Chain A
């Protein structure tokens, strides 16, 4: 793949997109994991699927150039995120209820749009599991723009988001506007999901947001370190996953996620060894 990378534009697009997604998915994922919102990412990815199916339907029936499945997916994801926030404030005592409601809604809509478009095709398959060949130059530019927006906003609101994630009551007492920051955060989540789906696919996007974090949280000291390690693990997974997916002719979603799981297992084993070694030292 490395030598083909310079030869074929689609591979280059995929590779750069993968590198971008390998940064922003674990970056945002760290906040998602510590706020125990991992399942929200899943719910949103299924809403995004509905948007993509809607876009594919539009493509098939009409020719509206600018409304590609990528953009309709992103639009649905953003709308879904707004619904989740609304539902979470309606069901204050059962905030997790928002997840099955939004998730099933997304799947229901997807089924309808897919059958209206007369069933499955390779495009849809690529969106479900990711693809090494589906990224156009326009997609790459859009994802680059999203990545810049996400990184800039997260840097600007880092301390507020961090403070809110740790202890919402205390943050509110000191005068932080919890509602607005929440809203911003869920919007960013929607954008990152839409961007990542090109590479890892709908079904596995939440894995790329959470598995690298699950690994780094075991060994990192502090929040910043957790973020940095998560991004490193995310990048390793994306690179190994893309290259092996290309050679094995497997959708990269599968290989990326399996690489993440392998890293996670290695980290857990490493931690075990480390702890038992330290205990032995204490005993001696």
Chain B
């Protein structure tokens, strides 16, 4: 039985007027590559915010690496690439190196400076995402896909065991989306980083993920990719509230 990185039991969450999550039971095991899908407004980002402590747990229990979330301290074990990562201030004068170095800020801690080893670690992370040629370029001068890679490097630099990505391929062209999945695949297989990926590329993702979770306020499906592709159209449109064809959904 592999270690449980995330475990949610009977978790519900409401914003002032909307119920976003209802009675969610959900687990991420070490080594998993989970594709989280569902309609817009289905609560995917909310679920991630809860896991990251960005939204306060209202009901149910959340454990991270076997520790209750309110006692959890090892935040550098979790890397995060936000849905909003790409909406940063494009005029911000920061190089790729500087952006990736931010991923170490909290790990290095207050009153300490980056060491030589930290600097090497930054270059390694940039290399991992194939952006070493752009190390000293301003982030604002890169393409959307390249920026996305830099943000992944920022999350990788602290050597997380779990990487959470919220719709990272929005605005990235098909060719780069393919490369992007190769990168994720590599991180998962070779470096044993567990992944939670929110995406609408259901077609591409079913080739890479180990589990698919489908969320629309409640968990509608949790299973293997093959089971997901075998869902009938009627079952899918029940979840999404509108028809969706997984196999040809290939952007």
Binding site for B on A (CB under 8 A): 34, 36, 156-157, 159-160, 162-163, 165-167, 169-176, 217, 220-226
Contacts and interface: CB of A to CB of B under 8 A. Distances in A.
B151 to A, nearest CB: 8
A163 B102 contact: yes
12 contacts: A34-B92, A34-B93, A156-B111, A159-B105, A162-B102, A169-B54, A172-B54, A217-B93, A222-B93, A222-B97, A222-B138, A223-B93
A167 B93 contact: no
B15 interface: no
B99 interface: yes
A159 B101 contact: yes
Given A163-B105, A172-B54, 14 more contacts: A36-B89, A159-B102, A159-B105, A166-B92, A169-B54, A169-B82, A170-B85, A173-B54, A173-B80, A217-B91, A222-B93, A222-B94, A222-B97, A223-B93
Contacts of A36: 89
B88 A166 contact: yes
Contacts of A175: 73, 75-76, 106
Contacts of A159: 101-102, 105, 108, 113-114
A128 B129 CA distance: 53
Nearest to A176: B106
Given A167-B85, A169-B54, A224 B98 contact: yes
B180 to A, nearest CB: 19
Contact of A221 (B84, B91, B101, B137): B137
Contact of B154 (A170, A176, A223): A170
A110 B172 CA distance: 54
Contacts of B108: 159
A45 B80 CA distance: 39
Instruction: Tell me which of A36, A157, A175 has the highest count of chain B C-beta atoms within 10 A of its own C-beta.
Output: A175
A156 B113 CA distance: 8
Nearest to A219: B93
Contacts of A221: 93, 95, 136-138
B89 A174 contact: no
Interface of B: 52-54, 73, 75-76, 78, 80, 82, 84-85, 88-89, 91-95, 97-99, 101-103, 105-108, 110-111, 113-114, 136-138, 154, 158
B6 to A, nearest CB: 14
A163 B98 CA distance: 9
The 7 closest A-B pairs by CB, nearest first: A222-B95, A174-B106, A175-B106, A163-B102, A163-B105, A175-B75, A226-B93
A239 B228 CA distance: 70
B93 A162 contact: no
Contacts of B73: 175
Contacts of A171: 102, 105-106
A279 to B, nearest CB: 15
Contacts of A173: 52-54, 75, 78, 80
A274 to B, nearest CB: 14
